[in-house]
Structure 1
């Protein structure tokens, strides 16, 4: 089990539930726009949010943003350690840096000491696109071993100043490289791991790559918090993250929809029914499994593990609970009857 850090009031690692993160794409110095986006992210299920701090104007906005939001705020710092110090003083909840790119060891020490005084953890964000040249030369490019060596080098810098309130990420645009790096890191370190595949692309392919990489790691028991990186509205990152957690069984308190593929036996609009059920389940917050099956062959028998479900027929269908038929229902009433049954659970 990994160590646990606290990001604001959210525990990360140490057996805590896997938390969902995202990052704003507004100008951070536009406080109103950034706060509005953070509130949309929180409403979608984001639990920790990160903002870019490329300059002093952004750093000066951090305090005002923090005062107007309720979820923990992470600042993303590169190159200028003074920006980190200003954000720490302004009340940020976590700092994301690469200790190797903010200057000499005295600057790393200054950031570590400021974080220690305020109880602010640091995420070491190793990225395949910004690995140190000697490491790239040693391994001949971006490899899992290169990412892990870079991470341990940064960890050593912070540990030198007795700072261990650390979370680590090892991101690459390659799913296999990313997965291998995280698995190796999990074997060699007990620092909590922030999962992500970087630069995944647009909504569809980015979600697929993230589902394979992040979901695969979570299924293996690796990872403590995650961000799905998409070239899309950040709210879509949160939705994808929730779906990934649901797919590997880590989304607690939310319904899980299972539905069979269509085939020649199907005599109802299964695709339409499944879509209606999925949409209406967005308003349900219960840890239940709901099945939408195309015929009596697949349901309720194959869906007997579901809490409730419907199975299609010809103009009518079956409503069932835990594999037991409740009643026959006209096709047009199947979804309404299903949700009446869900209300009783």
Structure 2
């Protein structure tokens, strides 16, 4: 059987690359995962603590709202403490954009159209250029310009794309090209169609999102359907999963989405069965515990957890570490697809965690050796 699997190939849309701080976005760079803090930005300590949790979850970029002077005053301390580039979220008040750029923002999230006059847009662009900031144009179906709503009658893909193109022109008129664009909507079909239309019209990086997606479960499903369709067709250079949940959960869902499509790998990818009466151990509780205890693993590792021998051996052969349920409290462990040893139920959980940690350490050491050898 041929090892070439063309039905798995995703050919990414060719976009030009920009830099958000030290993180490349677009081109052939990895698709970045973002989230947004929900603490009061004026409370620097609380915001930094939340940023740290998001960084631990793997966030590449983090957005921080700057609605008032107190927020931009605290932003400098927050930006110094952050280990990833920060995006300052600005609405209406152009001076907040100027302050955030001076305070260390790597990117300004604005709608150029609601910043004010052309002179104010020009000031924001000058501040962005002076501080090496990128700009993210954020178009949202819920806040489209009045003239576009009058023209089209309702939010529609054409209206979102026209709004984005108008905002892009405002930046280009000031010779600014370090921008990325989002055309978000809560309606999955509207968002997907708008992104498809924009992808054909521009060459800049696109930031994906299904806005106001909902809670952890509903929002994950909705975002996965919408962004999954776009990512599968090659559209998208950076993303945020908008959930009514803790920001670090958005990061984890984002990475799971990319892992499922083979677009990016980070941490443990768990292959597990839904469980049934054949299971030799409690698969649901075991997977819950493993996912919780293995969150600290950053090295890409595949782990299969199957309750019985119907599909267990076949799945285990495809993963780095595999566990298949057996009878009498004895279960088979597979290493690199090969049956290796038997483990008892009472020590199973700790044993699998230790195997994954050891495998991760081994892979990290090998990668370091290769890096040293290549120098």
TM-score, structure 2 normalization = 0.85
- Is 1:202 the equivalent of 2:218? no
- Structure 1 counterpart of 2:283: 270
Q: Distance in 2 between matches of 1:91 and 1:339?
A: 40
Q: Distance in 1 between matches of 2:190 and 2:137?
A: 18
Q: Distance in 2 between matches of 1:10 and 1:168?
A: 16
SS at 1:300's partner residue? helix
- Is 1:70 the equivalent of 2:83? yes
Q: 2:135 aligns with which of 100, 122, 145?
A: 122
**RMSD value, Cα:** 2.0
- Is 1:326 the equivalent of 2:319? no
- Tell me the CA shift for residue 246 of structure 1: 2.4
- Is 1:51 the equivalent of 2:64? yes
Unaligned runs of 5+ in 2: 1-13, 363-375
1:303-318 equivalences in 2 (<5 Å)? 303-315=316-328, 316-318=330-332
Whether contact under 8 Å (1:319, 1:334) holds in the other structure is no
Whether contact under 8 Å (1:48, 1:71) holds in the other structure is yes
Q: 1:235 aligns with which of 248, 260, 266?
A: 248
Total equivalences in the alignment: 345
Q: Distance in 2 between matches of 1:10 and 1:247?
A: 23
Whether contact under 8 Å (2:255, 2:266) holds in the other structure is no
Q: Deviations over 1:275-321 (max 9, x none)?
A: 33333332433322111112212021244212220111222222223
Q: Distance in 2 between matches of 1:60 and 1:167?
A: 26
Q: Distance in 2 between matches of 1:52 and 1:327?
A: 52
- Is 1:285 the equivalent of 2:284? no
- Structure 1 counterpart of 2:202: 189
Q: Deviations over 1:70-121 (max 9, x none)?
A: 3212111111222212222222211111011111112112211221222211
Q: Deviations over 1:187-206 (max 9, x none)?
A: 22111111111111222212
- Structure 2 counterpart of 1:61: 74
- Tell me the CA shift for residue 339 of structure 1: 4.3
Q: Distance in 2 between matches of 1:283 and 1:86?
A: 36
Q: Distance in 2 between matches of 1:336 and 1:68?
A: 35
Unaligned runs of 5+ in 1: none
Q: Deviations over 1:142-186 (max 9, x none)?
A: 122211111011001111111111110111111121122112222
Whether contact under 8 Å (2:304, 2:315) holds in the other structure is no
- Tell me the CA shift for residue 332 of structure 1: 3.1
Q: Distance in 1 between matches of 2:41 and 2:316?
A: 48
- Is 1:80 the equivalent of 2:93? yes
TM-score, structure 1 normalization = 0.92
1:247-266 equivalences in 2 (<5 Å)? 247-266=260-279
Whether contact under 8 Å (2:66, 2:96) holds in the other structure is yes
SS at 2:312's partner residue? coil
SS at 1:301's partner residue? helix
SS at 2:331's partner residue? strand
